Homo-oligomer: A and B are copies of this chain.
Amino acid sequence: MCTAATYQTKDFYMGRTLDYEFSYGEKIAIMPRNYPLQFRHDGKKITHYALIGMAHVIDDYPLYYDAVNEKGLGMAGLNFVGNACYNDVQENVRNVAQYEFIPWILSQCASLNEAKKLIKEMNLVKTPYNEQLPAASLHWIIADKSGCITVESVKEGLKVYENPVGILTNNPAFDKQMFNLNNYMFLSPKQPVNMFSKELDLKTYSRGMGALGLPGDLSSMSRFVRVAFTKMNAKSKSSEKESVNQFFHILGSVEQQRGCCEVAEEKYEITIYTSCWNSQKGIYYYTTYDRRQITAVNMHKINLDGQQLISYPMLNDEEFYEQN
């Protein structure tokens, strides 16, 4: 399905994989500060923070999958089928349609703290974008360099969780995912020592045996554990190149290869794209299943005071570098 992660070196990075069996058509979309934002139930924003992110653009409107704003607050929506449950529109609250949750937050909040406050006023409602695009079942990860939260709208109401691991996948709900990490506390990047029996001469016959027990499949609970272990133990230098590169390696640990997750007869879920943004610099990096080279779109290369949505096609064609 999908995996999101955060990563801190000198700068704060965040991104996600989008795993699915087909693409709706994605574009890297920059929404400048004066793009007129008409919310469905919550009025209009003429001026706001600029955003960059991956979106399905329809009628010049970006349905963002993930984005970051010019203040460094990032957000991603991930599948949460069977658990997501949205409200009906109510009076005297700020009703927000699920499809506009990302721009509603990122256009108005300069920090995670501001986002937390705004969410308290929010009633997340099931209004679809249009009849052809029913509400997606999602949950969200929101983060800046100060921290990370998970937002889940479930039957019992809206849950806002602190997310100390900076990871989100899909089902089950975030509290179950975090609890499940307890079962893996013995995993380590270091070699194990023999605690089975002092009387047996057991050997570490291979490097990397300290994480024996780490799940390797593509289910969302296993991806949560694996990417959490990878991210929490990841080491890199802090330059832009090294940080971004390491981030793609982290999400690479849960990449979905074509053929390994069959969702219908000869339909395979794959990692359609992987994104990584530098929250401070406003640069959105991505790779796709067919294009390994990292492509960058920099929001500050356009005039952020504009009114028009600027979008770039998601490049998807591998170009081999010919060394001879």
Contacts and interface: CB of A to CB of B under 8 A. Distances in A.
Interface stretch (A39-47, A94-102, A136-144, A261-269): A261-269
A219 to B, nearest CB: 4
Given A189-B259, A252-B252, A260-B230, A320 B292 contact: no
Interface string A185-205: 111111011111101111111
Contacts of A57: none
A197 B218 CA distance: 17
A166 to B, nearest CB: 10
Interface in A215-255: 215-222, 225-226, 228-230, 232-236, 241-242, 244-246, 248-250, 252-253, 255
Interface stretch (A10-18, A61-69, A124-132, A206-214): A206-214
A191 B259 CA distance: 13
A84 interface: no
A52 to B, nearest CB: 10
Q: How large is the interface on A (under 10, 10 to 19, 20 to 34, 35 or more residues)?
A: 35 or more
Contacts of A305: none
Nearest to A234: B259
A293 B256 CA distance: 19
Nearest to A194: B185
Interface in A154-203: 164-165, 170-172, 176, 179, 181-190, 192-197, 199-203
Interface stretch (A109-117, A145-153, A294-302): A294-302
A28 interface: yes
B248 A292 contact: yes
A257 interface: yes
B199 A232 contact: yes
Contacts of A1: 206-208
Copies, count: 4
B320 A285 contact: yes
A25 interface: no
Nearest to A164: B200
A290 B212 contact: no
Given A187-B195, A212-B215, A258-B234, A182 B207 contact: no
Nearest to A192: B186
A179 B176 contact: yes
A216 B206 contact: no
B197 A261 contact: no
Given A293-B293, A298-B322, 19 more contacts: A164-B201, A176-B179, A185-B193, A186-B195, A196-B228, A197-B229, A208-B217, A208-B222, A208-B261, A213-B213, A216-B225, A216-B226, A230-B259, A234-B259, A241-B317, A242-B290, A292-B292, A292-B293, A294-B320
